[in-house]
Every structure is written in C-alpha cells, then in structure tokens.
C-alpha cells in the first residue's frame, strides 16, 4: 500500500521524501522492522521509539512517522503532532478497517472483565456464533490461542488481530478494554457494537492521578458503541456513567442485584459449589447456575446475560453457555489436590478484588482462611495498606509476600502492606520469597482450612528487578506436595 494512502485521515505537520513509497508492513518496535516497513516512533513511559530509528533503518524501514524533527538521508519522514494518535488511523487503513466487519463487544471496569468475556464467549459459542477473544489471559484467534502481554493490545496489534479474526470468518470479538487503552487511544478506529461496565474500585491511580480521571477514562468506551451499552447500576460509578450516557442515541441496559435494573438477579443462593439465581429480564425469567462461587460471580453472569439479551439470544442458550464455564484460569480457581484443605488461586490485585474473593470464601469456609498475597511494584502504592487491612479483617492468618516487585525493593512493599494489617487483630508473618510463603501456608494448613493465593492468578512468571522468572503457583504447589509438604 502506498504511504500516501496509509496516511489518509492523519494530520501531517510536515514531511520530507516520497509519499508514494510502497509500504509492506508497519511496526512500532525497531526489532520487528523489515524491508519496506514504516517505523512509527512511539514515546512510552519507559522508552522512546525515536531513540531506535537507526536500528529500524538497519532492519529495512524506508519511512518514519515521528512527532519531533528528525533528519535522515534517503528516508521519507512524516512528522505529526502525536504518533500514538496517528497509529490507529494508519493501522486501520493498512488492514482495511476490519472491526467494521466484526461484531465487537468491549468490557471495561476494575474487576470482572476477564470472567465476563469468557462467559459471553461461551454463550455465543453455544449460539453457534464463531467468536474470538482478546483479554488479560490470552488472545483467541479462532484457529490459535496466544498468550497476552497486556489487557488491551496496542492499536497496531489490535487492528492486525481483528484482520486475522476476520480472515478466519469470526463473527464476534469479545474483548477487555482497559483504562490505559482508552486513555492512550489504542481502541480508536474500533467499531464497538456493545460496551459493558462491570464496576470501578481503586486501581491504577499511579497512572490516572485521581479517581475521577480513572472513571472518565472508562466512560470513553460508551461513546464508541453503536448498538447498546450495558451498565452495572449497583455500582456508584456505574450510576454516574449511566447519567452521562443515557441521552446518547444508543440503548442502555442496566443490571444489578440491589438497585432497580432492567436485568436483575433474584433469589440468589451461594455456596462453595457456585451460585444459583432467578434471572429477571423485561421479556422473560429463567434460572441460572454457575460453578464459579461468590456474589461477584453473580454480577459477572448478569453482565454476560445482559449482553446476550441485547443480542436477542434465546434464554436456554444463555443458561447453557453460562453452565458450560466451569472455571476461568486464575479466577477463584480451586486446585485439584489430594489434601484435607483447599487451595484457591485468584488474580485479586486491587482492594475490591481481594475483598470480594475473601468475602466469598468466608461465606462457605468451614475452617480457617489463610491468605498469601503481596502487591505489585511500580504500581499504585496507596492501595497497599488498604489491602493489608482487608486481608487482616477477613482472614484468620495472613502471609505477606512478594507479587511482581519489578524495580522496587520487595521489602519496602511488604512494610507498606504491613501498616494496614497492623490495624487489625489478625496474626500474620512476612515471608518475602513467594515460594517459601506458599510452603509455610501449606505446612500450617489443617483439615477444612482454605489457603488463598491472591494476586498472581493466571500469571506463570514473576517480574523481579533485573529479570523475569518462571513462577506458576500451580506448579509450585504440586512440587511442594511431591516434596512431602
């Protein structure tokens, strides 16, 4: 495709060189540049693509998109005000606007995004709709699954994924939409049919600065939809978003348990085997059951059922699709071990997520709750003592350990968590090495106890200061059992 055609819709400040060059590929990673590629220089939080221009040229790039003056001989250089804003336009042009041919469903919120996408995909599969998925755990392209590196891919990667899905004959794409992706413009030029809001609690304030900015970032999704918006009306921020978007020319369906909503859960029953409730919609009622326990699970199921309702899917298909999901990796995942106690792995890494899973366990626990958790480094520090207090209030014993410390001193993170737990009466211990912390929990566990391993969830690695190591909690637990623990 000619560069001039790629730049259609992009506001150019100035350029040098030939805009009629044939471009065979696009990248923002200089290592992936090849012959006749356009290299887009993106300034990130850690590195700046402008510093890697020479690498991209050596690898074959013939054109550069920059947001500051750059001089290179025999190169076509296009300067724009913001390369990150220009990238989704160029990507959509290159791949032929594939999201317009997909029925795109976006889910945003602090908690529940991953499980909700799995539930929606299961319902659509039951309805015999070929469905792709993009999220925190993996990307399902229909013919292949690949591991995710972030919740919502960069705009260029996203358009390529849509193109691959469209090429596979996929009709629906269900995707998690993070607040970062909305603020960074990764989902610009994406045509969403339906947007879903799950909930909003404290997280990512290191990036957004304050809670209002965080909510406003999430709210951007609901101005990008064509068919319907689905809002959790029980959530205070959901009610604010509903108030702001209800005037738009897009139907809004609310769901909830406590507040009056279009789609509601009534007569809820919960135990360690899951949930069961009466789904009440404007057109019908039916009984829904899920093997994923907890009140938060009711909300996730409601969100998925609301999407299916908006799509006109039969209630029996909704019921079967939800029943088919036995568990989601790292989400209230019960390990299958031959022990008199249980081990549950959950991704809870924010205050509300930790509180939700602990309250759920407390509802059916017959023995003690032993919680093993830490907090991620280089992330919102204010939530650390809050999570310490939550763990202490809802557990019988807490082991504070490392999560992904990244560039921070892990002991500093532990001390900040400890400040919160000190305000409770819960006994605790600090063990920085996460494997040793899990071992300690297993050694102290007795009949009917429940060990909660919180924070890592589906992750199979741990990010340290200078390296990333293999760390799958399922593997660790099985190794410890083999060692006689």
Concatenated DSSP letters of 343-374: EEEE---SHHHHHHHHHHHHHH-SS-EEEEE-
3-class state of residue 240 by DSSP: helix
Closest alpha carbon to 352 in 321, 390, 304? 390
CA distance 454 to 452: 6
485 HSE (CA, 13 A, CB side): 19
CB-count exposure of residue 324 (10 Å: 0-12, 13-18, 19+)? middle
Q: Is the dihedral of CA 221, 156, 123, 310 positive or negative?
A: positive
- Torsion, CA 346, CA 351, CA 356, CA 357, rounded to 10: 30
pTM: 0.91
DSSP letters, 388-408, are HHHHHHH-SEEEE--S--TTS
Q: In Å, how far from its chain's centre is CA 356?
A: 17
CA distance 298 to 308: 15
3-class state of residue 4 by DSSP: helix
Please report the domains of the chain, with CATH numbers, ordered by start residue. Answer: 3-86 (3.40.1390.10), 98-324 (3.40.1190.10), 333-482 (3.90.190.20)
By the 8 A CB rule, do 279 and 309 touch? no
Place of tokens 């949930």: 275
Length of the chain: 485
Q: What is the pLDDT of residue 207?
A: 56
Q: What is the pLDDT along the chain (485 residues), one digit of tens a residue?
A: 999 999 999 999 999 999 999 999 999 999 999 999 999 999 887 789 999 999 999 999 999 999 999 999 889 999 999 999 999 999 999 999 999 999 999 999 989 999 999 999 999 999 999 999 999 999 999 878 888 877 889 999 999 999 999 999 999 999 999 988 998 889 999 999 999 999 998 555 555 568 788 889 999 999 999 999 999 999 999 999 999 999 999 999 999 999 999 999 999 999 888 999 999 999 999 999 999 999 999 999 999 999 999 999 999 999 999 999 998 999 999 999 999 999 999 999 999 899 999 999 998 899 999 999 999 999 889 999 999 999 999 999 999 999 999 999 999 999 999 999 999 999 999 999 999 999 999 999 999 999 999 999 999 999 999 899 999 999 999 999 999 99
CA distance 219 to 217: 5
Q: What is the pLDDT of residue 204?
A: 53
Strand pairing category for 274-280 and 285-290: antiparallel
């Amino acid at each position: 495709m000619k560069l001039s055609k790629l730049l259609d819709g992009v506001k150019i400040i100035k350029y040098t060189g030939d805009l009629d060059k044939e471009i065979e590929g696009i990248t923002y990673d200089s290592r992936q540049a090849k012959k006749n590629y356009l290299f887009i220089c993106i300034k990130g939080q850690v590195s700046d693509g402008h510093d890697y221009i020479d690498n991209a040229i050596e690898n074959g790039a013939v054109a550069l998109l920059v947001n500051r003056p750059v001089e290179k001989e025999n190169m076509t250089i296009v300067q724009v005000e913001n390369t990150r804003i220009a990238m989704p336009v160029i990507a959509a042009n290159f791949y032929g606007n594939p999201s317009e041919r997909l029925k795109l469903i976006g889910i945003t919120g602090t908690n529940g995004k991953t499980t909700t996408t799995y539930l929606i995909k299961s319902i659509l599969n039951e309805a015999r709709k070929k469905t792709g998925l993009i999220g925190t755990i993996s990307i399902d392209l229909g013919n292949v699954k690949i591991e995710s590196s972030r919740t919502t891919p960069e705009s260029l990667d996203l358009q390529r994924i849509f193109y691959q899905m469209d090429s596979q004959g996929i009709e629906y794409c269900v995707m998690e939409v993070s607040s970062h992706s909305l603020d960074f413009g990764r989902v610009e030029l994406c045509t969403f049919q339906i947007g879903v809001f799950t909930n909003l609690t404290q997280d990512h304030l290191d990036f957004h600065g304050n809670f209002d900015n965080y909510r406003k970032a999430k709210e951007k999704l609901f101005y990008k939809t064509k068919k319907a918006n689905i809002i959790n009306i029980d959530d205070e921020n959901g009610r604010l978003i509903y108030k702001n978007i209800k005037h738009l020319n897009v139907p809004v369906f609310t769901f909830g348990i406590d507040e009056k909503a279009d789609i509601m859960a009534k007569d809820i029953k919960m135990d360690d085997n899951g949930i069961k409730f009466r789904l009440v919609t404007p057109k019908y009622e039916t009984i829904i059951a899920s093997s994923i326990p907890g009140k938060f699970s009711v909300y996730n199921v409601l969100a998925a059922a609301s999407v299916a309702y908006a799509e006109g899917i039969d209630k029996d298909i909704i019921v079967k699709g939800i029943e088919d999901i036995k568990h989601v990796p790292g989400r209230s995942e019960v390990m299958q071990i031959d022990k008199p106690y249980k081990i549950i792995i959950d991704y809870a890494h924010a205050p509300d997520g930790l509180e939700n899973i602990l309250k759920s366990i407390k509802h059916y626990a017959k023995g003690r709750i032993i919680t093993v958790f830490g907090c991620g480094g280089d992330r919102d520090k204010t939530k650390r003592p809050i999570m310490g207090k939550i763990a202490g209030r809802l557990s019988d014993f807490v082991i504070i350990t490392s999560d992904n410390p990244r560039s921070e001193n892990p002991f500093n993170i532990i001390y900040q968590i400890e400040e919160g737990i000190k305000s409770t009466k819960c006994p605790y211990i600090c063990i920085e090495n996460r494997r040793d912390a899990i071992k300690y929990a297993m050694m102290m566990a007795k009949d009917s106890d429940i060990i909660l391993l919180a924070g890592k969830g589906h992750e199979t690695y741990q990010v340290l200061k200078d390296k990333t190591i293999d760390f799958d909690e399922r593997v660790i637990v099985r190794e410890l059992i083999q060692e006689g623990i």
